[in-house]
Structure 1
Amino acid sequence: METETLYDAAGGTVGLTRLAHAWHERVMADEVVAHAFHHGFRPDHSERLAAYWVEALGGPRAYTGTYGDETSVVRLHAGEGEHEDMDQRAIACFDQALADTGLAGDPRLAGALHDYFAWATTMSMAKYPRSADDVPDGLDIPQWTWDGLKESR
């Protein structure tokens, strides 16, 4: 049984913060993905994203209680219609960010993180393309393990 979480294997909060910054730099340089930020973004976007990943990947509850819950995150991404090309480019930027931060050096870790990000991008965050009003209240941040999506905790 795996005892080390993805959070631990990725370098904890420091490692995931580095990854969030690297991903944000990559997406802002991509003319298609950067469109998602055309309305602007918070100056602490990378820190908030890292806190979300910390919690989703087995670390402490760094996002919930400080910034919001899954409902608030999904509502931010809802109502934008379907955007498969942008999603695939965001995933490619994530894979490049894994390389930028040295996390791609461990193929098992890189694969698990890629699978998480691809799932979150194409499933969890894309689940409500029509309207943010469709997102139910009280959603918990999904937990991702070495084996994939974990049932609710």
Structure 2
Amino acid sequence: MNASLYEDVGGFDVLLAVCRRWNALCLADPVAAHPFAHGTLHPQHDERLAAYLAEALGGPRLYTGGYGDETTVQRVHAGNGAHPDLDEACVRLFRQALDDVGVPPAAGERVGDHFERQTVAMRVYGGSRDDVPSGLALPSA
């Protein structure tokens, strides 16, 4: 039986460490710091992102079991216009966080690719939160 990408990464604790490292890297980056530095993040942003990633990578249903669905995620991030420089910086730093935490390279590449696809996908709703349809399914990596 094949292990899930969630297992290949190392499970929830590793994902949480990646999210915390990513947050720290973003705060230190002049381009990526903007959404992290204004106190607008949910107090448990790292834990929620780790739950989202865990589920997307084939782990337990931690995000949809307690926080919401893909519509919830998209609406939180929608309505902020286009910001490709920010997106690129965040993706680059997320990949660095995967490496810094020691996620195995093959698994890290797949997770980084998923994170990048989802970051780009969020651009569809840059105009308004009202554009996000209800009932979106959380995408799997």
CA RMSD across the alignment: 1.3
Letter in 1 for 2:7: D
Cα distance in 2 for residues equivalent to 1:39 and 1:22: 18
Runs of at least 5 residues in structure 2 that lack an aligned partner in the other structure: none
Runs of at least 5 residues in structure 1 that lack an aligned partner in the other structure: 145-153
Aligned residues of 1:77 and 1:126 also touching (Cα < 8 A): no
The answer for the alignment partner of 2:139 in structure 1 is 142
The answer for the alignment partner of 2:120 in structure 1 is 122
Q: 3-state DSSP class of the match of 2:119? A: helix
Cα distance in 2 for residues equivalent to 1:52 and 1:111: 18
Q: CA deviation at 1:39?
A: 5.2
Q: CA deviation at 1:83?
A: 0.6
The answer for the alignment partner of 2:47 in structure 1 is 47
Query: Is 2:57 aligned against 1:57?
Result: yes
Q: CA deviation at 1:100?
A: 1.3
Cα distance in 2 for residues equivalent to 1:127 and 1:6: 27
Q: 3-state DSSP class of the match of 1:35? A: coil
Aligned residues of 2:17 and 2:101 also touching (Cα < 8 A): yes
**Identity, % of aligned pairs?**
46
Cα distance in 2 for residues equivalent to 1:126 and 1:7: 26
Equivalenced residue count is: 140
Aligned residues of 2:35 and 2:41 also touching (Cα < 8 A): no
Cα distance in 2 for residues equivalent to 1:56 and 1:78: 20
Query: Is 2:65 aligned against 1:68?
Result: no
